[in-house]
């Protein structure tokens, strides 16, 4: 099959276009013909080697974390899917590889695609949808009437998280640039801080939850806009000892993460708040719940650009600029 593979780590490395072996289909796998693939900043970070300690992939391998396509074959134990089903997924870590024509996905990580979406729209959803769901619902316990601050409202995670938070009945604050104010307001943001003109710490206070996706400076400020007992969930770090336990990291990695997050955890405790690090997990069950919301019109995809398959490297470069409004997608078939 045709694919874009990473031969060596490096921030300027170009993915190699060429033929690679078709994926092995295990008993609990579903072979998907890829129609579209989402592009995410995590693809760039993995390419640069930033996640080698957390995700030690064996080179060469195919990048890509979002897929929408059609079932070509099912493993012997698969019961929920059949040939011809239109599906979408965020494959599990160590099973990624959606910048390709085919991928084998575990049955438990796969879901039927929302009926009212195109393949390109569906491919934009899994990673950001699962991230928002796990941050706001699982980890953040966001409830109706609460206040949530979602950073970078015009980004991939932000555009989905704003809509999900509004569906849950929360008051939503976000940051964005002047040119994107109307867009995030249209998604449901109640309080909008133009980060080029204002400091969000001077505008926000008493929040129940923060979804943090920016740098360390923004993290410190975010802890201070929380009410006592509030929660901060970060998808950009620093990783915590609890996360090291989750991934079964060796002792020296656990120590490294303990040291990395010590200052943040201490500041959160002094403020009477909690800090946690989230590295999203694949989940077909949650994608089914997300599909229900999308089909009901509660959440819609936000797609900035669709690139042809042969322009995968250009799509990745565009995501790295940080200027995308919503998601960037590759049309494979």
pLDDT in tens, 55-83: 889 999 999 999 999 999 999 999 999 99
Could you list the residue range(s) of the whole structural domain that residue 137 is in? 128-277
Between 33-37, 46-50, 158-162, 249-253, the lowest mean confidence (pLDDT) is in 249-253
| β-strand partners of 193 | 175
pLDDT tens, position by position, 219-255: 999 999 999 999 999 999 999 999 999 999 999 999 9
| pLDDT surpasses 90 at 124 | yes
Claim to verify: residue 82 and residue 14 sit in the same structural domain: yes
Helix (H, G, I), strand (E, B) or coil at 181: helix
CA distance 24 to 91: 14
Q: Are 161 and 333 in contact (CB under 8 A)?
A: no
Q: Are 332 and 97 in contact (CB under 8 A)?
A: no
| Mean predicted lDDT score pLDDT of the chain | 97
CA distance 44 to 24: 25
Q: Are 97 and 104 in contact (CB under 8 A)?
A: no
Q: Is residue 198 part of a domain?
A: yes
Name the residue among 95, 111, 120 with its Cα closest to residue 36.
Answer: 120
* This prediction's pTM: 0.97
pLDDT tens, position by position, 274-320: 999 999 999 999 999 999 999 999 999 999 999 999 999 999 999 99
**What is the number of other CB atoms lying within 10 angstroms of the CB of residue 313?**
16
For the domain that residue 17 is a member of, what is the CATH number?
Answer: 3.90.180.10
Q: Is residue 98 part of a domain?
A: yes
CA distance 300 to 287: 14
- The DSSP call for residue 100 is B
Residue 199 confidence (pLDDT): 95
Burial class (CB in 10 A: 0-12, 13-18, 19+), 33: middle
CA distance 47 to 193: 32
Q: Is residue 52 part of a domain?
A: yes
Q: How many domains does the chain have?
A: 2
Residue 240 confidence (pLDDT): 96
Q: Which two tokens stand for residue 51?
A: 């996640």
Claim to verify: residue 134 and residue 262 sit in the same structural domain: yes
Claim to verify: residue 262 and residue 161 sit in the same structural domain: yes
Name the residue among 97, 116, 83, 70 with its Cα closest to residue 333.
Answer: 70
Q: Are 168 and 140 in contact (CB under 8 A)?
A: no
Residue positions counted in the chain: 333
pLDDT band at residue 179, thresholds of 50, 70 and 90?
very high
Report, as an integer, the average pLDDT of 206-226: 97
Rounded to a whole number, what is the largest CA-CA distance in the chain? 58
- Which sign, positive or negative, has the C-alpha torsion 262, 268, 269, 275? negative
Q: Are 223 and 217 in contact (CB under 8 A)?
A: no
Q: Is residue 222 part of a domain?
A: yes
| β-strand partners of 231 | 209, 274
Q: Is residue 292 part of a domain?
A: no
Claim to verify: residue 132 and residue 145 sit in the same structural domain: yes
Name the residue among 54, 293, 201 with its Cα closest to residue 210.
Answer: 201
Claim to verify: residue 92 and residue 137 sit in the same structural domain: no
Claim to verify: residue 138 and residue 239 sit in the same structural domain: yes
Question: In the chain, how many H helices and how many E strands?
Answer: 11, 16
Q: Is residue 135 part of a domain?
A: yes
For the domain that residue 265 is a member of, what is the CATH number?
Answer: 3.40.50.720
Residue 53 confidence (pLDDT): 84
Q: Is residue 238 part of a domain?
A: yes
Claim to verify: residue 77 and residue 199 sit in the same structural domain: no
- The DSSP call for residue 310 is G
**What is the number of other CB atoms lying within 10 angstroms of the CB of residue 267?**
15
Report, as an integer, the average pLDDT of 182-196: 97
Claim to verify: residue 93 and residue 224 sit in the same structural domain: no
Claim to verify: residue 145 and residue 57 sit in the same structural domain: no
Parallel, antiparallel, or unpaired: how do β-strands 327-331 and 171-176 relate? unpaired
Residue 54 confidence (pLDDT): 86
Residue 32 confidence (pLDDT): 98
CA distance 252 to 333: 44
Span between the terminal Cα atoms of the chain, in Å: 12
Q: Is residue 258 part of a domain?
A: yes
One DSSP character per residue, 204-243 reads: --SEEEEEE-S-HHHHHHHHHHEEEEEEEEESSS---HHH
Q: Which two tokens stand for residue 8?
A: 């060596």
Claim to verify: residue 9 and residue 143 sit in the same structural domain: no
Claim to verify: residue 55 and residue 102 sit in the same structural domain: yes
**What is the number of other CB atoms lying within 10 angstroms of the CB of residue 268?**
21
Claim to verify: residue 138 and residue 91 sit in the same structural domain: no
Report, as an integer, the average pLDDT of 95-124: 98
């Amino acid at each position: 099959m045709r694919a874009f593979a990473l031969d060596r780590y490096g921030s300027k490395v170009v993915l190699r276009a060429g033929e690679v072996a078709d994926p092995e289909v295990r008993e609990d796998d579903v072979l998907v013909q890829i129609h579209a693939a989402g592009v995410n900043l995590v693809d760039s970070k993995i390419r640069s080697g930033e996640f080698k300690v957390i995700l030690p992939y064996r080179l060469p391998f195919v990048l890509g974390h979002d897929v929408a396509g059609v079932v070509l074959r099912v493993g012997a134990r698969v019961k929920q899917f059949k040939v011809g089903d239109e599906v979408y997924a965020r494959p599990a870590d160590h099973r990624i590889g959606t910048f390709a024509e085919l991928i084998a996905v575990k049955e438990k990580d796969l879901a039927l695609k929302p009926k009212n979406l195109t393949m390109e729209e569906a491919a934009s959803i899994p990673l950001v949808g699962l991230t928002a769901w796990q941050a706001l619902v699982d980890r953040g316990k966001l409830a109706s009437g609460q206040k949530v601050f979602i950073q970078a409202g015009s980004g991939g995670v932000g555009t989905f998280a704003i809509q999900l938070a509004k569906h849950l009945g929360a008051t939503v604050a976000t940051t964005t640039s002047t040119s994107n104010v109307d867009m995030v307001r249209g998604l449901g943001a109640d309080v909008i801080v133009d980060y080029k003109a204002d400091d969000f710490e001077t505008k926000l206070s008493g929040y129940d939850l923060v979804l943090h996706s920016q740098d360390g400076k923004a993290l410190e400020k975010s802890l201070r806009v929380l009410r006592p007992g509030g929660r901060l969930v970060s998808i950009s770090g620093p990783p915590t000892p609890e996360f090291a336990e989750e991934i079964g990291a060796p002792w020296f990695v656990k120590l490294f993460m303990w040291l990395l997050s010590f200052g943040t955890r201490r500041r959160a405790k002094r403020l009477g708040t909690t800090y946690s690090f989230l590295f999203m997990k694949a989940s077909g069950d949650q994608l089914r719940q997300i599909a229900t919301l999308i089909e009901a019109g509660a959440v819609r995809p936000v797609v900035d650009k669709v690139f042809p398959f042969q322009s995968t490297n250009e799509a990745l470069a565009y995501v790295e600029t940080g200027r995308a409004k919503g998601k960037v997608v590759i049309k494979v078939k």
